[in-house]
Every structure is written in C-alpha cells, then in structure tokens.
Chain A
C-alpha cells in the first residue's frame, strides 16, 4: 500500500471549513462498491469523535436503515435525504437537501466535529460539490473489473482519497490489484489511493487515519 496516512499531502481544493462548523467528508462511488460498509466502519473506528452521517438514497432508505440497524451510531445522528431520482444533482448541482440535513445535525449536536455524507450509488462522473463537502472519498471495488481506475472519470481522478475496496474478492473475479493500483496512481497524479478489504480489515484503518489527519489539519490549520 503506497499510502501514508500521516503524510500531509497537498489538497488541490484545500477549503478549510469555516470556523465553528463540523468538517464534512463525502463518500461517493458506484452502486454496491461498499460506501455504506465504509461509513459504518468509520463510525466504529471514530467512535471517540462527535460525528454524524447523512445518507442520499436513490431507491430506498436502505443506507440509513442499515446504519441504524448496525447500531454503529445513535439514530438521531443519521439523516436521510430524498434526491428526487437524481443522486448526483443532490450532491453536486443543487446541494440544498444535503445542506439542510447537515445544518439540522449541527443544530441538534452543537459539539459535532465531523459529518460524513454518503452519496447514492451513481456513476463514475458523480462528484460532490465543494460547496457541500470539504473532502471527498471515492469508493470503487475490484468486482467491477480492474479496468475501473484506468477508465478514470472525475470521481476516480479528482477525489481526495480513492478507495479500491473488496480486495479480498480480487482472486475470485480475476482482478489484478497491481494493475488497479498502478492505473489509479497514474490517473490521479499523486493523490492518495487506499486498497482495502472490509472483510479482512473491518475497521478500515487506513481510511480512518486519513480522516483523522483531515480533522487534525482543521484544528491546527
């Protein structure tokens, strides 16, 4: 793994949050790549922090329900927003519903430090607006084939962190992790990449560390 979570790599869109509001991190990526599983892992790994989650479902309130059932977070800390059949609109073109959800959470929990926003599963071009999140994580999985990083698209190329998930499945689907990792680094021009399996490392340690580093940057910056 080429990613050192403690290194303070440059953020091309460095946009420190306004003082006094929680840091917002977006988690995007195609359907089923493991966004909710990652969010759940982060909730567990960062349980010592005041955090909350916003989910954007396309077809169901599945993601919010999963998090509630998984018991990783107090249900009052989870807000689900309706996207009007347009998941990318809700995180990019018209971020109203998400801003409302974030504000509602911040009002409910004044000490909130971090809000994780999970986008509805979408295509490779769906990225979060900088007006909504401070940083974004894009999650793809190996099951989609090892061509995915090579195909690029704004999600893969510009996200602040790319997660290639489900590495445990690589042998089963014939995906070459070296190819994926190499392509990912090539198209991302130095932005970090994490390869992980939530089956092998359920705590998503590398991503959790990356998130902690982002939070630390806010506090010290």
Chain B
C-alpha cells in the first residue's frame, strides 16, 4: 500500500492556528480536533499498518508563527507483509520561522517478523521550534523483534542539527552495551528550540545539549512505562 498524506497549518490574521490543508490517505488518517490554542491533529493509523510492502508518507508544513500538535492515538505495530517485503514510513516536517510543532506519535512496536524503515526529516527555518518524541519497543512481550531502521534528520536553515540512524533487530547489536544494552525500549525526545541545558543523567536516562542548540533526552528500559517515566526525569532535568 502506498499512501501520501499531507497537512498544512497556518496562523491567520486573528492569530488563530488553523489547518489550511488536510489530506488523509488510507491508512494514514488525520483528524483535526478543536482547541482554542495550538492546532491539534490526531494521526490515526486506520488499518493494521504498516505491513510489509507499505510505503506511507506524511508531509507537514507549518507556516510562520503557527503552532501544531500532532499526536498519535494508536501504537504503530510494524507487521510482516505477505512476502516479507520491507515497509517504510516517512514523516517530513517543514517549519517556517516562528513555527512551533510538537510531534508526539505513539510507540512503534517492532513485531517478530517486521522489516520496517522509519524516516523523520525536519527542516526548520529561523527560530522555529520542534519537539519530537520517538518510542521504540523491541517486540511484543516475549517476542524477539524483527528489523527496524530509523533515520532522524533535522536541520535549521539548511545546517544540520541532528542526524541519527539506528538499527534494531540485530541480536548482537541490541544486546551490546554500545547500542541498546539489552533493553527492550528506547525512548527519545528531541527539543529543537535553541535551548542549551546543563547535561544531566541518571540510571539509564540522560538529557544532553546538542552542539547546534537544542536538547536530546534519552531513556532505555525493559518496558515502555519505565522508559517513559525515565524520559520524564530527563525532561524535568531539562528545566
């Protein structure tokens, strides 16, 4: 299945953050919600997706000084396709100066025979700010994960802020102290807002300033609840 969804948010003359364009494409369904402040849009994966062979892309444009919160409502489960074909999902965020986006999808669960590639590209202009969360769960309970590669790329005015690729599902690497240290859940949150907090860390979590401004919080845990709690500690340390 190939799907291209699109979302455009702008700030109108009255200072309201409005959804100007919203194009869902099954299985990617975008549901706007009413709020008085930021534009709020739910991202619903309407079928059990992605399946092997799926190619899902969402592009999001946020205009000058517009605010968008994009949340996921169901956990993404990367499932094997009929012929073991890889699946791919990509999200591209383009932020104009002054725009502000919180991208908070639900966890990605990498099931046993999944072969999935997930890409997040964020292009920020001027003083735009982005908060983006990612929670990866290696397999359902008691299950060994298939393979997942993630690529996160963020830039501001065409200069790189973060580029991170990760490979999950290689047993040796997953178990290694270098990559996931045998933990089942990796949770990260990027704050691309020009903040430069003092580094802070604790047992399996950290909050670290990025070189070009912004913060990365990271947590590893054996289960998602603990991972999110640790990520909360890191976020709190961010101040």
**A adjacent to B, CB under 8 Å:** no
Instruction: Give B contacts to A, CB under 8 Å.
Output: none
Instruction: Give A contacts to B, CB under 8 Å.
Output: none
